Amino acid sequence: MYIYKEDIKPDKNALEEEWEKQTMLYDHYATLEAEAEDAKDKAKRKLDIIKAQMDERVRISPSAFGLDEPARETAIKYAVMKSSEVEQAEEDFQAAKKAYTMAKIRSTAIADQRKKALTKLSDLFAAGYYDRRIPKQVKEQIDERRQKEQESKLGKNPRLQSIIKRRNKE
């Protein structure tokens, strides 16, 4: 499951795994961006069609919309705008536009900001920054956690379960 607020923050104690996740995360959020853009475009087309249909109805029968004949362009435009169908389509379009903007921001953040953060964290790691700051006991806990996570993933594979059992017996 993808949770953006968690996905954007790399775990400095698991840089290798975070780098492996980076392309998967970018692919996921880029796909969401593309889907949101498609939904926005569809909502815009729907809004345009509804406006055109409403415009035609108003022009055919202006009196049905409380307009005098011949109806003026401004009056027709106003009647179209205040139509509940057009208002709903406009709301749908604005919501789709907002969803697209958020998806684009998230996709860009994963692609750029998270990648840059991973690069800087990796540079710090390579320079030995974390070796000085993390006590041996904490490193052992981190290694143990990683091992358990890996064994949990591997434990789902029947072929590899026997290997884990043998290692635990030793």
Q: Do 116 and 142 share a domain, yes or no?
A: no
91-150: per-residue pLDDT in tens? 999 999 999 999 999 999 999 999 999 999 999 888 877 776 666 777 788 888 888 887
Q: Please report the pLDDT score of residue 51 as a whole number.
A: 96
Same domain? For 85 and 8 the reply is yes
Tens digit of pLDDT for each residue in 70-87? 888 899 899 999 999 999
One domain, residues 104 and 56? yes
Q: Based on the domain organization, do 100 and 38 belong to the same domain?
A: yes
- Which residue reads 């593309």 in tokens? 34
Positive or negative torsion for Cα 105, 111, 113, 118: positive
Q: How many structural domains comprise the chain?
A: 2
Domain with 169, as residue range(s), is: 135-170
Residues 120 and 149 in one domain: no
101-115 burial: b if 16+ Cβ within 10 Å, else e: eebbebbebbbeebb
Q: Are residues 101 and 37 in the same domain?
A: yes
